Amino acid sequence: MLAFLLVLVGGPELPAFFSDHMVLQRETRAPLWGRAAPNEHIEVRASWDAAHALSATADAAGDWKVQLATPAAGGPYEIRLTSSAGERVLRDVLVGELWLASGQSNMEWTLGPRVGNGVEGWEEVVGNAGDPLLRLFDVENALTPAPQSDLKGSWRVADAESAGTFSACAYFFARKLRAELGVPVGVISSDWGGTPVEAWTRASALRPYAEFAEALALETSFAKDPAAAERGFEERTQSYWKHADELDSSLGLANASQPAFDDSAWVEVLLPAPFEQHGLADFDGLVWYRNSINVPADWAGQPLRLELGAIDDRDTVYWNGERIGGLEQDGEWQTPRRYTIPGEQVRAGMHSLVIRVLDTGGQGGFSSGVADFKLQPEQQEGTMVLAGQWRCKAGAPMAKLGWPPAREPFGPGSPSVLWNAMVAPLVPCALRGAIWYQGESNIGNAQQYATLFPAMIRDWRAAFGQGDFPFYFVQIAPFDYGGDTGQAAHLRDVQRRTLAVSNTGMAVTMDIGNPADIHPLKKREVGERLAAWALAQTYARGGEYSGPLFRAAKPERGALHVEFGHAAGLSSRGAPVRHLLLAGADRVFHPAEGRIEGEALIVSCGEVKEPVAVRLGWGAADETNLWNGAGFPAASFRSDDWP
């Protein structure tokens, strides 16, 4: 186990999760763990059972663990931990229901305007958020190549400030449970916008996927030997720029950095300016700039300071064919460039100054003003303005270059890195279950998601070691992704089919999305629809909890008779059923009409005389209008399994 991020003096060390105001799962054996000196004895006494103490002895690595037998819901309690190093007391501890909320930006989106602009009606909700029996733990974003033993975050009592900066979906879910169950509720928010499901999955669960093998190997190498990983980065970087040189050579740009290179055929441009002003509006890749600089006699032998302003994204600068500087790593596109030309390379007369710029996307080139584009001696007065006419030539495009190597071979979208940093430190915490809102970042490969998402659910359950705990997720909302040819709807259908995994549930958002905004603001409905699944399935409170779910489609006199579960009171609220498609054996889909008959839908189409397949809401931005009597919308679906 890696060392805890938070070291507490005066008693046994505990992860950040175990702190004042925390919530423990009721009526279970809740693990509590930490670190101490090797072989040190630790005594743990909870105030709900003050007459009895638990004891543990730290192993050779200093790790220890006990299991607290938690009572029925209640509190506040104290937990007292004693060792030879001193005593630690956890105060204001509640026992109740504990849930983990995770996913990407729609789960990360906060109730008030911290992440995003706040959700619908946030001002009133925040104003009434005070609840001493609702506790919130927000995990700070982090990523690591190997599983960690601790994370950053703290427990907070729900009030206007803590709720306003917390996940809106998770807050509304927890608030609904509080209202219905009448017991303390704690919720852990561990989420990161724009992240794919594989980032939240253990490496061991990703081994069957060959497409993740290289990234996982790099992460493992980096975790085991950072020095070797650094050497690997340097090797990849050298290889990348060697490849760039070879590509430029094939374009007639070999030795373009050298003074004798003939640039007479290059175009003349004004600097400083971005690519877009040089006829390169749609170009991403390498661009060369050359000029001749006449150094005055009284500057000879002196070091010169070269200032070029900010350059988007990366640059390499040559003085008389020698590299004298460059920012060639990622993330420096706003950094003003300042380089020193050594005095021994400065003589009176003409010199060659060459700048190679790499733009990896969007606007590229020089983004600062004339005043930031200059050359001057470091030891005396005088300035030479470099703005004006330069010669320019585009080199290798990004399409052939590929993305430059990163120093760390991982980012927030890399496999396992978010599990390692933001979930693994919570294991083996006793949870009631998990809620999940993610999928937008995987729409490009719904076929992979069909196995990867269920694998992640099973893997989380295996890691926490509490059996098939409830896992309730959100079917992604309608959104116009642009150029979508069915990927988004396919992923929604994959999510629907994931209900085949035991003890799962799906909140549907087909009626509360926003085709123009991937972050719809109706988060209260999302949280409460997730809570409806939990109340009915986990807490046996009864009542409807799901919208209509497709079961079967059977031919019926030139139409398809579509059957649903959870369809009592099936209704389109007086309007024609929207976004229905029908196809025959030719697999060509046509817009269709639907007629509601009890709990079924009769779908027909004049162009399809013998229908065999039906789809609902198959456009990425389709907002459907089919609900059951409880007001829950139907999930988008397809009856076929065609590619």
DSSP class of residue 420 equals I
pLDDT band at 469 (very low <50, low <70, confident <90, very high): very high
pLDDT score recorded for residue 394: 97
pLDDT band at 331 (very low <50, low <70, confident <90, very high): confident
Phi, psi at residue 136, to the nearest 5°?
A: -125, 135
Q: Which domains does the chain have, with CATH numbers?
A: 23-202+416-538 (3.40.50.1110), 258-401 (2.60.120.260), 549-638 (no CATH)
pLDDT band at 434 (very low <50, low <70, confident <90, very high): very high
CA dist., res. 83 & res. 97, Å (int)? 30
Query: Does residue 114 surpass a pLDDT of 80?
Result: no
| Neighbour-count burial of 485, counting CB atoms closer than 10 A to its CB (0-12 exposed, 13-18 middle, 19+ buried) | exposed
Query: Does residue 117 surpass a pLDDT of 80?
Result: no
Structure tokens at 607: 């162009």
pLDDT digits (tens, 9 = 90+) for 26-80: 999 999 999 999 999 999 999 999 999 999 999 999 999 999 999 999 999 999 9
CA dist., res. 186 & res. 469, Å (int)? 16
Query: Does residue 320 surpass a pLDDT of 70?
Result: yes
pLDDT band at 10 (very low <50, low <70, confident <90, very high): low
Per cent of the chain over pLDDT 70 is 98
pLDDT score recorded for residue 226: 81
pLDDT score recorded for residue 9: 46
Instruction: Look at the block and give the residue holding tokens 């269709």.
Output: 592
CA dist., res. 174 & res. 158, Å (int)? 11
Q: What is the mean pLDDT of the chain?
A: 95
pLDDT digits (tens, 9 = 90+) for 385-424: 999 999 999 999 999 999 898 777 788 999 999 999 999 9
Query: Does residue 351 surpass a pLDDT of 70?
Result: yes
Per cent of the chain over pLDDT 90 is 89
Q: What's the sign of the alpha-carbon dihedral 107, 112, 117, 120?
A: positive
Q: How does 218-243 read in b/e, with b if 16+ C-beta sit within 10 Å?
A: bbeebeeeeeebeebbeebbeebbee
pTM of the model: 0.78
